[in-house]
């Protein structure tokens, strides 16, 4: 029997290729496209193309194309690990490193490095072993990695219940005048640009970002942002919506390589959660990469420098 999906009311009107990319998260976009091109997707009993618009309540049936099973290879790479025990580890991901394989890229990712470092990771059979949450390729900072399936599930539930503390340092374009606030704007796929996300008025997923102004410069601002939800590209889209796109983000902001950053002006600075085995609150903080700090120095920042002490465990909760 072929797998089936029932279209929810909130997904009505969406292109089927975008819908499948959202709900079939373990499939790459290229694999979904292959399914559609091969006539392996039916809606309401008939074969449909990628541009087909969904109707609420209709049944989607799909057949996965046969593919050679991908076996991920361990690859030794330098890993900055702030904490590790038998259940999990916390790692500082550098910018310009993919967290896990995507599309046709199956090597040179953080997952490949973790496989070389750890004898066991959660969800070992998947292409994302150990990965509980993600950072964009050009974003640096803290990630927690699970070593067992039970620990993985516990951490996922903490993220879902919004228990986890996720705090970012962000350099944005423009002078932010408000001292801080809450960005409460639902996100959905951009109907005009398939690979982009945008703020939508209907049918989007709830997205909450708290921000606080740390320092103003002539044409830039330094913010601290807390994620309460973890939607794809959430901070980047929300800050662009606010009129202050992230420095270095050509997708939602400007094409220029401002301030000499190698990645985005976006750093996962603080990460806090309850240890799944003993219930103890763990909180970690790590300095931004050298190019981020150098950019701040060029902006002659005096405030905020106190935040960038050497990474490690913190008491904050």
CATH number at residue 30: 3.10.290.10
Q: What is the pLDDT of residue 305?
A: 45
**Could you tell me the sign of the dihedral formed by the alpha carbons of 138, 153, 164, 199, in that order?**
positive
Phi and psi at residue 37, to the nearest 5°: -65, -30
- Give pLDDT, residue 310: 46
Calculate the alpha carbon distances from 136 to 99, 154, 202 in Å: 8, 23, 26
Say whether both 170 and 308 belong to one domain.
yes
For residue 136, the domain's CATH number is 3.30.2350.10
Q: Are 241 and 292 part of one and the same domain?
A: yes
Domain that holds residue 8: 4-62
Based on the domain organization, do 95 and 16 belong to the same domain? Answer: no
Domain boundary among 107, 137, 158: 158
Identify the bridge partners of residue 214 per DSSP, sorted by sequence position: none
136 is catalytic: yes
- 3-class state of residue 248 by DSSP: coil
- Look at strands 4-6 and 41-43 and give their pairing: unpaired
Q: What is the pLDDT of residue 30?
A: 79
Q: Whole-angstrom Cα distance, residue 65 to residue 52?
A: 20
In what helix (H) or strand (E) does residue 92 lie, and over which residues does it extend?
Answer: strand 88-93
Quickly count: other Cβ atoms within 10 Å of residue 63's Cβ: 13
Q: Which of 136, 226, 249, 291 is catalytic?
A: 136
As for how many domains the chain has, the answer is: 3
Residue 179 sits in the same domain as residue 246: yes
pLDDT confidence of residue 303: 47
* pLDDT means over runs of 10, the chain (317 residues): 83 90 79 88 92 93 72 93 97 95 84 94 86 95 97 95 97 95 91 84 89 94 95 94 94 82 94 97 97 89 47 55
Is 73 part of any domain?
no
Whole-angstrom Cα distance, residue 117 to residue 262?
26
- pTM, two decimal places: 0.76
pLDDT at residue number 105: 79
227 domain residue, yes or no: yes
**Last-in-domain residue among 132, 158, 184:** 158
């Amino acid at each position: 029997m072929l797998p089936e999906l029932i279209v929810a009311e909130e997904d009505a009107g969406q292109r089927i290729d975008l819908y499948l990319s959202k709900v079939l998260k373990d499939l790459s976009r290229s694999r979904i496209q292959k399914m559609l091109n091969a006539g392996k997707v039916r809606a309401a009993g008939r074969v449909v193309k990628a541009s087909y618009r969904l109707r609420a309540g209709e049944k989607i049936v799909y057949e996965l194309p046969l593919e050679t099973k991908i076996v991920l290879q361990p690859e030794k790479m330098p890993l900055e690990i702030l904490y590790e025990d038998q259940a999990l580890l916390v790692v500082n991901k550098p910018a310009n490193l993919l967290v896990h394989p995507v599309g046709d890229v199956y090597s040179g990712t953080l997952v490949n490095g973790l496989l070389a470092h750890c004898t066991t990771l959660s969800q070992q059979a998947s292409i994302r072993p150990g990965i509980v949450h993600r950072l964009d390729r050009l974003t640096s900072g803290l990630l927690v990695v699970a070593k067992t399936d039970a620990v993985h599930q516990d951490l996922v539930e903490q993220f879902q219940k919004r228990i986890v503390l996720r705090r970012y340092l962000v350099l944005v374009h423009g002078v932010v005048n408000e001292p801080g606030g809450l960005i409460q704007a639902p996100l959905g796929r951009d109907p005009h640009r398939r690979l982009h996300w945008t703020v939508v008025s209907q049918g989007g997923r709830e997205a909450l970002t708290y921000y606080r102004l740390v320092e103003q410069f002539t044409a830039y601002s330094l913010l601290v942002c807390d994620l309460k939800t973890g939607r794809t590209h959430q901070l980047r889209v929300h800050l662009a919506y606010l009129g202050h796109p992230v420095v270095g983000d050509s997708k939602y902001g400007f094409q220029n390589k401002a301030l000499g950053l190698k990645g985005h002006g976006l750093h996962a600075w603080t990460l806090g959660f309850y240890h799944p085995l003993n219930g103890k609150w763990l909180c970690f903080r790590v300095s931004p990469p050298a190019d981020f700090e150098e950019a701040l120095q060029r902006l002659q920042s005096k405030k905020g420098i106190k935040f960038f002490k050497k990474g490690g465990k913190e008491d904050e909760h």
